[in-house]
Copies of this chain bind each other. A is one copy, B any other.
Amino acid sequence: MQTVVQKFGGTSVGDAEKLRQSAGHAVRARGAGRRVILVVSAMGDSTDDLLGLADTLGDIGHDKREMDQLLATGEQVSCAMMAMTLRGLGVPAVSLTGLQAGIKTDHVHGRASIREVGGDRVEQLLGQGVVPVVCGFQGVTEEGDVTTLGRGGSDTTAVALAARFKGECEIYKDVDGVFTADPRLVPEARLRPVVFYEEMLEAASLGSQVIHPRAVELARKFDVPVRVLHSQRAGDGQRGTVVLSEEGSMEARVVSSVVLKGGVGRISLRGVQNAAGVQAKVFSPIAAAHIPVDDIIQEDDGPGTINLTFTLDKKDLPEVNAILQGVAPLVGAQSLRADGGFSTVSAVGAGMRSSSGVAAMMFAALAQEKILVENITTSEIRISVVVREGDGQRAVRCVHRAFGLHSSEGEAQAAALLRGELGEV
């Protein structure tokens, strides 16, 4: 019998009515003869409420081990509520904490990694025709201490269970699936029936949080088919988006999505004396302060000197600026400049690998809109440009249209254009 793991986020279980609608998906899957495991996040704002409670303790709060013990209650509540909802719909169901479900992790409280899914109790319940409702986001160490998995934790729990039980994973959200761009920004954005793990990884790390990169990575590793669906729509009609491996797919879409990320800051160190280890001198103290840095660009700036430019979250600018004020003299930098007010616009697509001209097509679209490109970075399946924040929305729209993502005809035209350029090379 086929197993499906259905994961519901906080907004999908926010109240009794949403619980019922979400539970309906499990009822239908069960009716279709599938074995169903649910993974549930904490209801609505309850995690924030628990964080607020810890804040009342002032500085003394936030011990990591105890914060995990505290936060894990959020999912325990939502899972019990979901199990009762399912029972109310005539489906036998039992809620399980991470510990009870055998989600074993390392000891890194607050952002633990799953080491193993025991799952004996889950297996036993499935054998009895009962739906296990598993707390997402949490696990337990060898010693029996509760851990939480950090951001994207519930998605990761769901994929790990799907891997353990050789099943599919359905991620239920308050969106219809993965789109070519954020429909709130680009009204003509279209739902993608299929995306590849690699594309999801790039898009997710750029701020398009449909599924957390950790969960996507895990799904790729264990070849778990993932489907993104809308929790508040009846199941049978909707197709959602399937996330799967590129291998064996006929489709080789050049660009599959365009992602806008706002609130970007940029720091430039100019005229740095290039010597072995200067990069480490610059970035080690930033890493030590646990501040994530995005794309790094290094370019020559005359004989023996370089410019180092990188982007980061705007809110981290003051702290990083303060750190680099101390570092700049040590690397002989002639100037240090920190600016906020940027966005990045990225085109992502697995087909980009085998198609040149994609960058040119993107730059042409931006030029036609007279949008100034401040920086460029690329990976194997992604091209990102830094633009002024005010240009962000126009940029994502024009790039989306340039790659023909608004319609299948448009897409065919863009593909033909790219093939033509390929021929000219």
Contacts and interface: CB of A to CB of B under 8 A. Distances in A.
Nearest to A79: B69
A72 interface: yes
A89 B73 CA distance: 24
A84 interface: yes
Interface string A18-46: 01000000000000000000000000000
B69 A88 contact: no
Interface in A371-412: none
Given A57-B81, A81-B54, A85-B60, A95 B69 contact: yes
A117 to B, nearest CB: 16
Contact of A77 (B53, B63, B97): B53
Contacts of A145: 100
Given A60-B87, A66-B95, 14 more contacts: A50-B77, A53-B81, A57-B85, A60-B89, A62-B84, A63-B87, A67-B80, A69-B95, A70-B76, A70-B81, A73-B77, A76-B76, A97-B146, A100-B144
Contacts of A57: 16, 19, 81, 84-85, 88
Nearest to A95: B69
A84 B58 contact: no
Interface in A318-354: none
Interface residues of A, number: 42
B56 A16 contact: yes
A84 B99 contact: no
Given A72-B76, A76-B72, A58 B99 contact: no
A34 to B, nearest CB: 23
A59 interface: yes
> In this complex, which of A15, A56, A61, A69 has the most chain B Cβ atoms within 10 angstroms of its Cβ?
A69
26 contacts: A15-B56, A19-B57, A53-B77, A53-B81, A54-B84, A57-B81, A57-B88, A59-B88, A60-B84, A60-B87, A61-B84, A63-B83, A63-B87, A65-B94, A66-B80, A66-B81, A66-B84, A66-B87, A69-B76, A69-B79, A69-B95, A70-B76, A70-B81, A76-B76, A97-B146, A99-B144
A221 interface: no
A5 B79 CA distance: 32
A145 B94 CA distance: 10
A151 interface: no
A67 B53 CA distance: 23
Contacts of A73: 73, 76-77
Interface of A: 15-16, 19, 50, 53-54, 56-63, 65-67, 69-70, 72-73, 76-77, 79-81, 83-85, 87-89, 94-95, 97, 99-100, 121, 143-146
Contacts of A54: 81, 84
A60 B84 CA distance: 7
Nearest to A61: B84
A65 B95 CA distance: 9
Contacts of A84: 54, 57, 60-63, 66-67
